[in-house]
Amino acid sequence: MKLAFSTLGVPGLPLPDVLRLASAHGYHGVELRAHPEEPVHPGLGADARSDAAAAFKTAGIELLGVAGYARVAAPGADEPVIEEIRALAELARDLGAPFVRVFPGGSDAQSPAEADAVAARRLGTAAEFAADLGVRILLETHDSHRTGADAMRVLGLVGHRQVGALWDVMHTWLGGEQPQETYAALSPYLGYVQVKDIASAEDTTPLALGAGVLPLADCVEVLSRHGWDGWLCWEYEQRWYPSAPPLPELLDAGREHLARLLNDSA
Predicted pLDDT at 254: 98
Q: Residue 233 has what pLDDT? A: 98
Return mean pLDDT, the chain: 97
Calculate ∠ Cα 65-85-71, nearest 5°: 95
pLDDT exceeds 80 at position 121 = yes
The arithmetic mean of pLDDT across residues 62-71, rounded, is 98
In this prediction, residue 67 carries a pLDDT of 98
- In this structure, which amino acid lies at residue 148? G
All domains of the chain in start order, with CATH: 2-265 (3.20.20.150)
DSSP letters for 106-173: --TTS-HHHHHHHHHHHHHHHHHHHHHHT-EEEEESBTTB-SHHHHHHHHHHH--TTEEEEEEHHHHH
- Tell me the per-residue pLDDT of 241-251, one tens digit each, with 9 for 90 and over: 999 999 999 99
Q: What is the mean pLDDT of residues 4-30?
A: 98
Distances (CA, A) of 107 to 122, 128, 165, 223: 16, 26, 20, 32
pLDDT given at position 266: 76
Sequence-distant (≥ 6) Cβ neighbours of residue 240 within 8 angstroms? none
What is the pLDDT, as a whole number, of residue 130? 98
Mean pLDDT on 102-113: 96
Residue 265's pLDDT band (boundaries 50, 70, 90)?
confident
Q: Provide mean pLDDT across the span 230-238.
A: 97
Cite the beta strand spans of the chain per DSSP E.
2-6, 29-33, 62-71, 99-103, 136-140, 163-168, 190-195, 231-234
With 80 as the cut, is the pLDDT of residue 119 above it?
yes
Return the pLDDT at 186: 98
Find all residues with CB under 8 Å of 97, minimum gap 6, and list them.
32, 63, 64, 65, 66, 91, 135
Percent over 90 (pLDDT), the chain: 99
Rounded CA-CA distance 99/212 in Å is 28
| Measured CA distances, 140 to 94, 172, 246 (Å) | 22, 10, 25
Alpha-carbon gap, residue 36 to 55, rounded angstroms: 20
> What Cα–Cα distance (Å) separates residue 83 from each residue in 42, 68, 96, 249, 265?
11, 12, 20, 38, 42
Query: Is the pLDDT reported for residue 205 higher than 90?
Result: yes
Structure pTM?
Answer: 0.97
- The percentage of the chain sitting over the pLDDT mark of 70, rounded to a whole number, equals 100
